[in-house]
């Protein structure tokens, strides 16, 4: 399977200009709210019409401004799981699912597909309830069942867990992951949560202010986000201006320090990023004296802010997240960072 998206769309002051392609498996579109995620999805599903460009799904043009193609949402075969699930309030769960099967004219086949999906989605016993009487998790399963019975070519999940209580979220993530594997549907997951993206997607495209910043395999992206924006979007709390100082060395003027990286530094380096988890009291390399300025105790970790000894006054405090088992005993006024954890950022 393949999905190629290359579209432009202007909405008031906001300008969406995205271009990416995704292959098989679960791909993620990660971005803050207002970055254009929903607009992109709606264009793919045919709910919104782009100003120009093309959308090709498995070689089939869903939209192509040059060839004047613009399929209706009905003909795109793109399943869309809305944030609020969009179950039809005046129909039972069963009737909702039947809406996804309306093309099937053979009655016995229809019944078979229906009871099959009810079984898989564990909806037996609640199929005659209205959406209002279902829990958030059940609603999500009904909405998914309704989409999957229609056998779409592409599945779009729009912030699928944002409407749920946090204690349900991880449980449902596991459930969804299993379902996605089982159905083998190619999926585009949209989220503003780095954790969700990391856990569910094999590759991720980062979206910021209507543009794709970077698209990479998930683990590589988190290890080497390449740019400041991408570093922020993948949750890096410490990003600071830096200059090349040697083949493996970078100067950080604001911190008054020189760091060693594990990879060669290019000339156009402009910043480095260090994730808050990566400071380590026991690391030997990139080890410098620090002064703690603030400390909050979380459930599993301490959230600490600190400054380097010669750090200039108007620069920001640095974040350090320290797992509790590594408690202060190991801390002797110095923190180090492994060279592999110095992220080199260009642009």
Smallest distance, other proteins to C-beta of residue 113, A: 14
Q: Are 283 and 336 in contact (CB under 8 A)?
A: yes
Give alpha helix (H) positions in the chain.
37-45, 93-99, 107-120, 136-148, 166-183, 194-200, 218-223, 228-233
Output 50 or 225, the one with its CB closest to other proteins: 50
Smallest distance, other proteins to C-beta of residue 160, A: 14
Bridge partners of 54, per DSSP, are 6, 64
Output 144 or 343, the one with its CB closest to other proteins: 144
Place of tokens 């594990």: 262
Contacting residues toward other proteins, per CB under 8 A? 42, 45-47, 72-80, 82, 84, 86, 88-91, 99-100, 102-103, 130, 132, 146-147, 150
Q: Are 57 and 154 in contact (CB under 8 A)?
A: yes
Output 59 or 89, the one with its CB closest to other proteins: 89
Output 110 or 258, the one with its CB closest to other proteins: 110
Output 58 or 220, the one with its CB closest to other proteins: 58
Smallest distance, other proteins to C-beta of residue 155, A: 11
125's tokens? 């016993």
DSSP 316-346: PPEEEEEEGGG-GGG-SSEEB--GGG-EEE-
Smallest distance, other proteins to C-beta of residue 206, A: 25
115 C-beta neighbours (distance < 10 Å), count: 13
Output 66 or 90, the one with its CB closest to other proteins: 90
Smallest distance, other proteins to C-beta of residue 313, A: 50
Output 88 or 346, the one with its CB closest to other proteins: 88
Q: What SS3 state is found at 169?
A: helix
Q: Are 29 and 193 in contact (CB under 8 A)?
A: no
Smallest distance, other proteins to C-beta of residue 286, A: 50
Smallest distance, other proteins to C-beta of residue 107, A: 18
For the chain, how many helices (H) and strands (E)? 8, 21
């Amino acid at each position: 399977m393949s999905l190629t998206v290359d579209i432009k769309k202007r909405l008031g002051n906001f300008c969406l200009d995205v271009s990416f392609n995704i292959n098989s498996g679960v791909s993620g579109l990660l971005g803050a709210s207002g970055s254009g995620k929903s607009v992109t999805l709606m264009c793919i599903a045919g709910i919104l019409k782009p100003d120009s460009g093309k959308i090709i799904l498995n070689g089939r043009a869903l939209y192509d401004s040059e060839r004047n193609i613009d399929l209706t949402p009905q003909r795109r075969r793109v399943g869309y799981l809305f944030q609020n699930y969009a179950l039809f309030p005046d129909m039972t769960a069963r009737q909702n699912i039947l809406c996804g099967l309306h093309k099937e004219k053979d009655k016995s086949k229809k019944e078979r597909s229906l009871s099959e999906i009810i079984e898989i989605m564990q909806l037996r016993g609640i199929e005659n309830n209205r959406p209002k009487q279902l829990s958030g998790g059940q609603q999500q399963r009904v909405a998914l069942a309704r989409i999957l019975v229609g056998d779409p070519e592409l599945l779009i999940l729009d912030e699928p867990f944002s409407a749920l209580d946090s204690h349900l979220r991880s449980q449902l993530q596991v459930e969804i992951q299993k379902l996605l594997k089982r159905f083998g549907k190619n999926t585009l997951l949209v989220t503003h949560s780095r954790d969700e993206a990391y856990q569910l997607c094999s590759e991720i495209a980062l979206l910021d202010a209507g543009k794709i910043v970077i698209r990479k395999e998930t683990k590589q992206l988190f290890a080497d986000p390449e740019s400041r924006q991408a570093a922020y979007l993948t949750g890096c709390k410490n990003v600071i201006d830096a200059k090349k100082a040697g083949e493996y060395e970078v100067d950080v003027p604001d911190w008054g320090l020189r760091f060693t990286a594990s990879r060669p530094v290019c000339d156009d380096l402009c910043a480095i990023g260090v994730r808050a988890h990566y400071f380590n009291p026991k690391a030997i390399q990139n080890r410098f004296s620090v002064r703690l300025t603030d400390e909050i105790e979380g459930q599993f970790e301490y959230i600490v802010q600190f400054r380097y000894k010669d750090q200039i006054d108007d620069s920001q405090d640095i974040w350090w997240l320290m797992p509790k088992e590594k408690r202060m005993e190991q801390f002797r006024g110095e923190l180090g960072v492994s060279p592999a954890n110095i992220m080199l950022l260009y642009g």
